[in-house]
Homo-oligomer: A and B are copies of this chain.
Amino acid sequence: MYEGVVQDLIDELGALPGIGPKSAQRIAFHILAADPADVRRLAKALLEVKEKVQFCRICFNVAQAELCRICADPRRDTTVICVVEESKDVVAVERTREFRGRYHVLGGAINPIGGVGPDDLHIRELIARLADGTVTELILATDPNTEGEVTASYLARQIGPMGLTVSRLASGLPMGGDLEWADEVTLGRAFEGRRVVAG
């Protein structure tokens, strides 16, 4: 055990996700040796994120105003919605520069074991967004794991009858990888989703 305030900091840091006791100690000693101005900036960033960040009224992405940057941007295509689990997935899709529509952030995925059902996600709000007929295409970009697949299937069943195009992101081999390193599920999906390229 350290002197009071050092131990307090180690305890607080250790409560963050992915930070074990050793990392917490290492970070605490880094803080002890760091420039006070840097530490004040970190403390300020922590507090500001709680004060200033809210969730977009339309899509539930993180936002610094009532609407997120994407929903507030009139250049974005309002006829396509990409449905993702979390705000960090919005960032991942934005990085591809492939998508010019809007998003809908569910706030997680259906996970019966974890006690997350459809009513715990922003699914009702998604269906409400589809009501006026502006949206013609929905891209289901939930994670390619059990919970994400279950969530995509649930949404496909709920929204399918509404008459818009509903698609799911392709599963297959990651680019830059090597066939022999692919797990069998991924490789199976790559076969299933194979595309004719000639003939």
Contacts and interface: CB of A to CB of B under 8 A. Distances in A.
Interface of A: 1-6, 8-9, 11-13, 15-19, 23, 25-32, 34, 36, 38-50, 52-53, 62-64, 68-69, 86-88, 91, 94
Contacts of A46: 9, 31, 39, 42-43, 46
A30 B49 contact: no
A54 to B, nearest CB: 10
Contacts of A27: 16-19
Contacts of A3: 53, 62-64, 68-69
A30 B17 contact: yes
A6 B30 CA distance: 22
A44 B91 CA distance: 30
A78 B24 CA distance: 32
Top 4 nearest A-B pairs (CB, nearest first) are A43-B43, A9-B45, A12-B42, A12-B45
A186 to B, nearest CB: 20
Contact of A29 (B47, B68, B88): B88
B36 A50 contact: yes
A55 B26 CA distance: 17
A112 to B, nearest CB: 21
A143 to B, nearest CB: 14
Contacts of A11: 45
B49 A9 contact: yes
Contacts of A87: 2, 29
Given A11-B45, A18-B23, 8 more contacts: A3-B53, A3-B62, A3-B63, A12-B41, A17-B27, A29-B86, A40-B47, A46-B46
